[in-house]
Structure 1
Amino acid sequence: DFRPISLVGCLYKILAKVLANRLKRMLEGVIDERQSTFLGGRQLLHSAVVTNEVVDDAKRRRRDCLMFDVDFEK
């Protein structure tokens, strides 16, 4: 009793990995360096930490602080 080996899932994974690697190389030159999430080596909390530091610095120096944050959705 031998069953055939299915390579459909394997081929899909290989193709998906190749496409992901090619897109990653392309996106590094397209996405702005200030984008802090969804890219390798960048963390989600980085923006929150920077925002907190800016607000703390403004309070410490007793200066006004104006910030603008945009979150786009599809």
Structure 2
Amino acid sequence: DFRPISLVGCMYKILTKILSWRIKPVLARVIDDCQSAFLEGRQLLHSVLVVNETLDEVKRIVKQCILFKVDY
């Protein structure tokens, strides 16, 4: 009742691990400081939380406001 184990994915795992080790020291210089993702210690949802806090503050003050979201 044994099934053969495919080792095809093993080579890809090894390759991606090696590439990630080689790229890791360079990423901090390539990715801009205002980028909030893909770097260790930076949270992906941080910018979303800042926008939510801004919206809550605007609603609390009841002032008119226009927010412009740019996603590129």
Could you state the TM-score of these two structures normalised by the residue count of structure 2?
A: 0.57
Is residue 46 of structure 1 aligned with residue 61 of structure 2?
no
Q: Secondary structure at the match of 1:64?
A: coil
CA distance in 1, matches of 2:64, 2:30: 34
CA distance in 1, matches of 2:16, 2:62: 52
Q: What is the aligned length?
A: 64
Q: CA deviation at 1:63?
A: 2.8
Q: CA deviation at 1:49?
A: 1.0
Gaps of 5+ in 2: 1-9
CA distance in 2, matches of 1:21, 1:65: 45
Q: CA deviation at 1:19?
A: 2.5
Q: CA deviation at 1:29?
A: 1.7
Q: Which residue of 1 aligns with 2:30?
A: 30
CA distance in 2, matches of 1:44, 1:54: 17
Gaps of 5+ in 1: 1-8
CA distance in 2, matches of 1:65, 1:28: 35
Q: CA deviation at 1:18?
A: 3.4
Could you state the TM-score of these two structures normalised by the residue count of structure 1?
A: 0.56
Superposition RMSD in Å = 2.8
CA distance in 1, matches of 2:61, 2:42: 29
CA distance in 2, matches of 1:35, 1:68: 18
CA contact (8 A) 1:36 1:43 kept: yes
